[in-house]
Amino acid sequence: MECPHCEQELHYHDYYYTGRPESFYGTAGNGIYYPASNYKKMGDIYKCDNEECEMFDEFFYTDESKELHEGYPC
């Protein structure tokens, strides 16, 4: 993944998701079963380390269709 401003390779930073994370799957201590239903990975978060890009938002993220957007997903 390349930075749209300086074309330098972006560094993988993190990913983001919707729903409950995996640690909540399965049967909890109280015997209630939580199905692994609503967890869904939305995309990856990248960061540009180039000093020239400090004036821009240094974070980028991909959406579900792998398209790159500027900023940080909320």
Residue numbers at the binding site for Zn ion (CB under 5 A): 3, 5-6, 48, 50, 53
Q: Whole-angstrom Cα distance, residue 11 to residue 28?
A: 36
| Smallest distance, Zn ion to C-beta of residue 49, A | 8
Q: How many whole angstroms separate alpha carbon 62 and alpha carbon 44?
A: 5
Shortest distance, CB of residue 3 to Zn ion, whole angstroms? 3
The pair phi, psi for residue 23, each rounded to 5°, is: -65, -10
Rounded distance between C-alpha atoms, residue 41 and residue 62, angstroms: 11
* Position with the least CB separation from Zn ion: 3
Residue whose CB is less far from Zn ion, 5 or 20: 5
Residue whose tokens read 């995309």:
43
Q: Which lies closer to Zn ion via its Cβ, residue 52 or residue 64? A: 52
CB of 40 to Zn ion, least distance (A): 29
